[in-house]
Structure 1
């Protein structure tokens, strides 16, 4: 049974109302890769009545009350991706497709009606405003990647302005950053017990307090006070300072930042344990599209895929993942992953192929640290690896082999990204995945062929990638395999001028590499690369950088690299 989406569904369950109503611009798919499903099912498992409003017609506020007024709160998400990233290309042109909508159609439209986007720009703020117009008495909790990456004052590429925290702009009461299952559960429990939003002290949460309400925090030295919104707007060096202070904190201490007359207060992150992660993914899902939708292309991509871990210690400058999932990898137990695959294999119509067992980087599964983490957070160290990094490649291979032995499973594929750094991709591991788990193309992400740009990206030097190509070709020849490398490349990253772009073009050409995985750099909120783009220099080294903003030049670079 799906989670309720209408009042008729509530009646079928014998409910008068929901405890929490989850609102999302994505089509409802009951699958653990979709946030609305995993949050709703997790709350349901823990005794709360959760309903889902998927793709409300946001120009009509009453649509946000399809399930009535919730007993505790509304929980609003901007969707699986930031709404501005999904609505616009890197060159700020409107996208014509949305893979999280039916048939990729991003518009509401009926004959004779003016069409408008299913996913509004700055989705969270729009949804919150419309909810407030019809319901003022219940708290609004915001979360998901759009909220997570806009939780402090940040540079917004699409408006070319510094914007306040989305908590301020949306007028919500609570922001939950990161992966929100446990923080949402604890927040709802606290609200149910009568604790007001401004008095919450929940892990992974951000709230607003007046200046006289933070005296107890200021008396404790264990906090980080960022330059205020006003300081950041008026001084780029203040923006640089705020960025480095925030990033270096790694969500370990309380963070304060003044925005007008109030402060945002961010509480430290909760590091999820393996047992807690297993408890989430051990929940049963329909693993289907809700009957109110037909074809949702994003579901086709992940229908028979399995998440094995969360987090990424790659710490690439351009990637928002470390700000959302965190830099520490937490892996599910082999038993939990195998049990999920057994459920998939038992489903009617299962083809026999598990299309992925992975996470942000597939071969980070089961990796760990001998000293349980450090302040440097540079585990890969130019591809050779920190002396304290414990590779999980043997455990990952054991997981893949066990999955392949499950009744009904004929084929296991790896379609998550694979890091080519030798410290987590040794020859033994590379040989086995090429023979058994990579279909025809191995997708890897050198990102650039310029060592200077790679340094800006916090990626290993090009020699590490060239070494990987040699290993790949040698093993391919020894095993008589027809496999190919497909490189992911970013054009226009800060630090890249015409000479650096030519270096990338030459590297690809000399090694006969081509493909369609080329993109123009998009400055997404709160990443180090976005700070470089806005500042014109690296916030850590203060080194001035070339920043190309001309759309025609960027398109030319992309095309010249691609062919």
Structure 2
């Protein structure tokens, strides 16, 4: 095995004069299946193409983009594992001080709107080359979209990047088809999981035209109409091609790529990854983002949860695509024999760990339902969960000679752990297996809020479901004679959350002596339901008005109420109480602060 070429020296060592495909990425080059560029590169290589990588090029001129020459077929451009604006800025639009996907965690090595910048530099250097854009940044900007950083509606990224084709979702099938068509001299139209620019769409059968870029930029009702239509059609079985006019041209989004069969996924994850970062980064201290996933395994893709703030439904899709247990077990065995392995596999999972092997009989022939959801308001009886397979797999991995620990760090849908009717028994067994063997003292869950109205807007279960899970978690650990804790993830300032709602959440936490640290300030991402509500102030599916906490100061107050214990937040908590005319609660907060400070002081004194 060896890394894909990154220099002319690498080409000479392979005896190659040129490459078929050159991948340009905003991340450092890590040859690991958690990094999209590595996966796409290895898939193309497996299909017989010569592939090279230009990682984090100097974008201030076009020179660095020529280091591997001109590819015979195309340049593949991605901002990296994250949208570059998310990678470069915090939720309050401040520049980030570090970048986990750069050498030594150094910030500033990728430009804002990296896909656009890279593609235009390539076009400067090679006017007639084919440019294919993909990754999460391009995927979620494939049509007209709200851009929070500019506070405006931007046109499809296809135009600003001057790209020939956009790959959305997980792109293995698409890039191989693109490469084969270009190799044969064929057109790139009609490929599932791609979007292109067209001058005429009259010959496109079974299409759905949504309001134009000009319309959605000027009219928020039209923006919501376009979003709803797009969301409804994001299905590889029943979805139609989406057409959106931009001036005198059209963006055509073909239906999503079909889901991969287990054997296809197995093949992708069995490709010869080096499973480490390129040696050129050793002097800089490696890549922090790699260390997080170094000894982890991806078992499945997709998520049928459809949380409003999440981009997964519009990127990976609602249908769960799982690898075979044999494939995951084989990778675990290889991982246990790898350099630096000390006995712990840090994760086996995907977007949601307990959806491995989840399936519905409808998916293969009819697609995901258009009129109802898999998990909300409660789990559909047609959705079968793979708990029996998961338990068997986890036990098999733990039985490997060099594996001492297997932890599940992906996060779980706690609403799927109680079970109802016949499913209750296997769900309880999964919970016991999890608590007994796969938690390193803490389990990550994401209640996000405690006010049911806000949770409904987020498309999350009622707080009662969370409370039932907490009780079950405690009882399970009590039976196992274990002391383990929950790490609760919460979102502040989500659309629908008023300052009064943030106070309700704060009181819920304070009265239970909970002091969460995993708080995410809401960020309106392109092509998400929550981002749509943030921009329009309405729910696109119901038409109901949604409150939007959009001032920086209110966002600070909402976060302060959630992290009510912190000294730095107390003046903001007092301000919020005054603004809400709830100064009757001030004495309760003051008592809680004194009690907390006394306990904290005692601990410091004891450890001195």
> For 1:305-354, what per-residue CA distance to the aligned partner results, in whole angstroms no more than 9, with x for missing partners?
00000000000010011111111101000111111111111113211110
1:223 is the counterpart of 2:180: no
Q: Confirm or deny: 8 A CA contact 1:385 1:423 kept in the other structure.
A: no
The DSSP-based 3-state class of the residue aligned with 2:280 is coil
Does the CA contact (< 8 Å) of 1:18 and 1:71 recur in 2? yes
1:206 and 2:184 matched: no
Q: How far off its partner does 1:280 sit? A: 0.3
| Partner-residue secondary structure (3-state), 1:215 | coil
**Residue 559 of structure 1 corresponds to which residue in structure 2?**
560
Residues 206 and 265 in structure 1, CA contact (< 8 A), matched pair in contact too: yes
Q: Do structure 1's residue 381 and structure 2's residue 376 form an aligned pair?
A: yes
The answer as to 2:415 corresponding to 1:421 is: yes
* 3-state SS in 2 of match to 1:445: strand
Corresponding residue for 2:268?
Answer: 280
**Equivalent in the alignment of 1:482:** 483
1:407: Cα distance to partner? 2.3
Q: Which position in structure 2 is the counterpart of 1:263?
A: 250
**Alignment partner of 1:351 is 2:342:** yes
- Pairing 1:19-418 to 2, within 5 Å after superposition: 19-106=20-107, 117-197=108-188, 200-211=189-200, 214-217=201-204, 220=205, 222-251=206-235, 252-270=239-257, 271-294=259-282, 295-372=286-363, 373-382=368-377, 384-418=378-412
8 A Cα contact 2:23 2:76, kept in partner: yes
Please give the alpha-carbon distance, in whole angstroms, between the structure 2 residues aligned to 1:71 and 1:325: 29
1:239-261 deviation digits (Å, cap 9, x = unpaired): 01000000011142111000111
Offset, 1:424: 7.0
What is the rounded CA distance, in whole Å, between the counterparts of 1:388 and 1:433 in structure 2?
24
Any idea what SS the aligned residue of 2:279 has? Answer: coil
Structure 2 contact 77–131 (Cα < 8 Å) conserved: yes
RMSD of aligned residue pairs (Cα, Å): 1.2
Q: How many Å apart are 1:454 and its aligned residue?
A: 0.5
C-alpha separation between the residues in 1 aligned to 2:225 and 2:207?
Answer: 15
How far residue 278 of structure 1 moved from its aligned partner, in angstroms, is 1.0
More off after superposition, 366-375 vs 349-358: 366-375
Distance in 2, matches of 1:561 and 1:430, equals: 29
CA distance in 2 between counterparts of 1:480 and 1:560 reads 34
Relative to total residues, which structure has the larger helix share, 1 or 2?
Answer: 2
Q: Which residue of 1 aligns with 2:574?
A: none
SS at match of 2:526: coil
User: Quick check: 1:364–1:424 contact (8 Å CA) kept in 2?
Assistant: no
Distance change (3 Å), C-alpha of 1:101 and 1:424: farther
The CA deviation at 1:423 is: 5.5
> Contact 1:485 / 1:513 at 8 angstroms: preserved in 2?
no
Aligned residues: 545
TM-score w.r.t. length of structure 1: 0.95
Aligned-partner Cα distance in 2 for 1:43–1:203 = 17
Cα distance between partner residues in 1 of 2:561 and 2:501: 13
Residue of structure 2 in register with 1:18 after alignment = 19
Gaps of 5+ in 1: 107-116
Shift of 1:427: 2.4
Structure 1 Cα separation of the partners of residues 301 and 468 of structure 2: 28
Q: Distance in 1 between matches of 2:362 and 2:170?
A: 25
With 339-348 and 17-26 compared, the bigger mean Cα shift is at 339-348
